[in-house]
Structures are given as structure tokens and as C-alpha cells.
Amino acid sequence: MKKLSLVILLCFGIQLISAQNFRKPYREAKRALNKKDYVTATLKSIESLKAKKNFKKSNDIFEKALSQINTWAASYIKELEANAIPYKDYQSVASMKEIFITYANLDNVQKKLLEVSNSLSSKQQKFILLHTVDYEKNRNEAENLLNAYNNNAADEFYTEGIKVFNNAKNKYEYRVAYKIFKNSKNYVEEYKDINAYLDKSLNLSILNIGYFPVRNLSNNRSNKKAMEDLVSNTTGFFNNYTFANYSEISNKIQLRNLGMLNDKGKAQLKNIDELVKFKFSRYYAGPTVIKSKEFYSNTKEKKKKDGTVKKWYCEGYKYELTASGYVELIVEIIDNNGDILDTKKINISKEHNDSFFLATKDSDRRAYPLLKKYRTSMPQEFNMPNALRNIFNSYMSDVFKRYK
């Protein structure tokens, strides 16, 4: 009896899997047909019919999709060819790529039709024969044209990059050349000596970035160290930036006395391309304080089937904790001529609130509401300096996106 049950269960499982094998692709084919995606509708209905060749709903979708796919493709490709042929500039590549993809998909559909044809009814085979088109030649021609277009686009950007590179007078212009060369590489990976020019232009475009000493313009001088910690934490960002390195300025005291860069300052900082100035007007990272504390006790009872009553008891205090912090500053980026390149005002405000029930050791958790926060020890103090640092870093990441 046990073996018979196992056999029945196994057969049921096989039937369930078989049903899923044709129903899932049918649903996908139906959705694709509604979106007029005739390629997917045809392929998915073929998949469904392979699993169950007499499934009428899949066959209906199959016939609808296959009867329209070639007409749709001819119209769609003609529209793309109007934009792609002849080659005009790099923008022609996108249309040609879509032509190739369309022909490749159509060719794949035809191959799938050949695979499934022998397993279908004679009526279905005749229908397939009626809508069979050999797209292999079109696919190959489109692929050859796409390769030619990619070469044209690569050469277009390569030639422009060489021109910008040869006329570049500073690191910013070499950066422009680098980005143009990168565009060329997007079309052909190893076009001519593109990699050599990428290396040259990148090396010539990397900026050396230095920090001015932090200026504390707030009324609280004791916050200077916290401000410096915020700033020093951002120097690691430059490890991930393409166009910038952080350069430590050794003589901070003398730099502080320079003010806006004069001739003496320029000579001292000749290797620094851009300087970042941090002017803090406010900084506060407050402690976690008790906002309210209220005694609470509760007894919960549950009557059992035998008439006895089970009781649970808890007591302790309901706490509300709070902490706040804020940072205000202005970040200026200047070049080594003293000209301001960018200015950003940063205002950060952070508030942390927590509420919970702190129970005594002999309390029972079951006596306190299930979804309420229940603790048996005080939480660690909220790390406000760390929270401010994380927000500050996100702001500085936006300021420094010029170096990515």
C-alpha cells in the first residue's frame, strides 16, 4: 500500500511538472503577443507546443505570431535602415546594431521552426512552410555592416582624440582626450594604438589635489579635532578616482599664512593642481540622552483547557532616548592660480530616536506586547560622530565627482 501511494505521488508530480512545462511558456507567449513582441511570442509558443503539441491556446498564439512576424520585421528593418544607411557618424551604429539583432532573432526563429516541425501535426507543418523565410544571408550581411560601422565609429573618435591630444595644453584638456579615446574603445577594443594613447592621456590628466588646513569659524574651538577627523576621512576617496590623486601638503602652518595664493604660495605648491578649502561654521555631535522614563508593569493570564490559569509578569521602565547632531560648512575648490573652480554649501542635520521597554531580570517576555521593543539591558550610546561622518562622506562624494 505504501509503495502504491509513492507511485501515485510520483505520477502526480510528473504530471504537475509536465503541466508547468507547457503552461509557463504559454503565459510568456501570451504576454509577448499582447506587447507585439512577435519574436518572443513565436519562440515561447514553440516551447509550449514542444511540451504539448495539441495545446490549442499555444497553437493559436503560435499562428498569430508567426503570421505577423515577417511583415513586422520587414517594416521595422526598413525604418531602421532609413537611419542607418548610409553611415553618417557614430550614431548610425545603434540602428545598424538593432538591424543585426533583429535579423539574428529572425534567423533563430527559423531554426527553432525546423527543430520543432517534425513533431507537429501536418497542418502545423504546412503553416510553418507558408511562413518560412531564410534570414541567414541577411543576418551575415548585417553583421558585416555592423563590424564596418564599429570600425568607422572607432576611427571617428580616434581621429578626434588624436587632434585634442596633440593640442592639449593642460591636464583638463588631456582628460577630454582620454574620454574621447575611451569612446573609440567602446566600438573596437583594440583599434590601432588606442591603448597607448589611453595610457598617455590618462597619465597626463591626473590632478594632484591638496587640502588647506581646516578653518573653524564656529564659536566652539574644541570642535576643531572633530572637524579635522571628518576631513581626513575623505582622503581615501582618491584611491577610487580616475583623474585625481591626494597629495599631502607638508608645511601646513606656512600654508595657513598664505591666504589666497600669491607668487610665493604658487612656487611652494607648484605640484598641486587644485586645493580644497573646508570652512566650518557649526559642528555638534550630541550625546544620547533620556527623553522620558516611565515605570510599567503588566500581568498576562491564559486559561488552560483543564481550567487552570497560567500567569506571566513583567515590570521595568519605558524609555525614550534621543540624540542630535549637525554640521555646516562651505567647501571651495581652487586652482593653483587662486581661481575658484567650485563651491558647495553643506548643511547636515541628524536626529536619532529610540524607544523600548527595559525589563527587570525576573520579568517574562510573554507578559509584554509582542511587537513592542523589549530589552533586558541598556543599548550602547548612539554613535553620532560616525553618523555625521557617513552623511558628510556622501556629500563629499558628490563634490568630488569631478575627479571620477
| pLDDT at res. 157 | 98
* Contact present, 384 and 403 (Cβ < 8 Å): no
| pLDDT at res. 227 | 94
Segment 44-57 mean pLDDT: 78
Grid coordinates standing for 112? 527553432
Q: Does pLDDT of 58 surpass 70?
A: yes
Task: Give 266's pLDDT tier (boundaries 50, 70, 90).
Answer: low
Element housing 33 (H / E) = helix 2-34
Q: CA quadruple 118, 120, 121, 123: dihedral positive or negative?
A: negative
**Per-residue pLDDT reduced to its tens digit, 221-259:** 888 999 999 999 999 999 999 999 998 876 554 555 545
| pLDDT at res. 262 | 55
For cell 517576555, what's the residue?
Answer: 365
CATH (one of 3.10.450, 3.40.50, 2.30.30, 3.30.160) for 207-404:
3.30.160
**Rounded CA gap, 172 and 243, in Å?**
9
| pLDDT at res. 267 | 60
Task: Give 17's pLDDT tier (boundaries 50, 70, 90).
Answer: very low
Task: Give 268's pLDDT tier (boundaries 50, 70, 90).
Answer: low
Q: Does pLDDT of 47 surpass 80?
A: yes
Segment 33-46 mean pLDDT: 86
| pLDDT at res. 6 | 44
Residue of higher predicted confidence among 285 and 265 = 285
Grid coordinates standing for 403? 575627479
**Rounded CA gap, 22 and 44, in Å?**
9
Grid coordinates standing for 64? 498569430
Q: Does pLDDT of 9 surpass 80?
A: no
| pLDDT at res. 59 | 79
| pLDDT at res. 260 | 47
**Rounded CA gap, 29 and 37, in Å?**
9
Task: Specify the range with the lowest mean pLDDT, choosing from 54-68, 131-145, 269-283, 341-355.
Answer: 54-68
Q: Does pLDDT of 14 surpass 50?
A: no
Q: Does pLDDT of 13 surpass 50?
A: no
* Contact present, 296 and 318 (Cβ < 8 Å): yes
Task: From residue 12, give the alpha-carbon distance in Å to each of 5, 26, 404.
Answer: 10, 21, 59
Q: Does pLDDT of 117 surpass 90?
A: no
**Rounded CA gap, 378 and 356, in Å?**
9
| pLDDT at res. 107 | 93
Question: pLDDT exceeding 70 applies to what percent of the chain?
Answer: 89
Q: Does pLDDT of 25 surpass 80?
A: no
Q: Does pLDDT of 22 surpass 70?
A: no
Q: Does pLDDT of 68 surpass 60?
A: yes
Domain locations along the chain: 2-134, 147-205, 207-404
Segment 45-52 mean pLDDT: 80
Residue of higher predicted confidence among 120 and 191 = 191
Segment 79-86 mean pLDDT: 93
Q: Does pLDDT of 219 surpass 90?
A: no
Q: Of 8-12, 53-57, 181-185, which one has max mean pLDDT? A: 181-185
Task: From residue 205, give the alpha-carbon distance in Å to each of 44, 149, 265, 283, 346.
Answer: 51, 30, 23, 36, 28
Segment 147-153 mean pLDDT: 97
* Contact present, 60 and 92 (Cβ < 8 Å): no
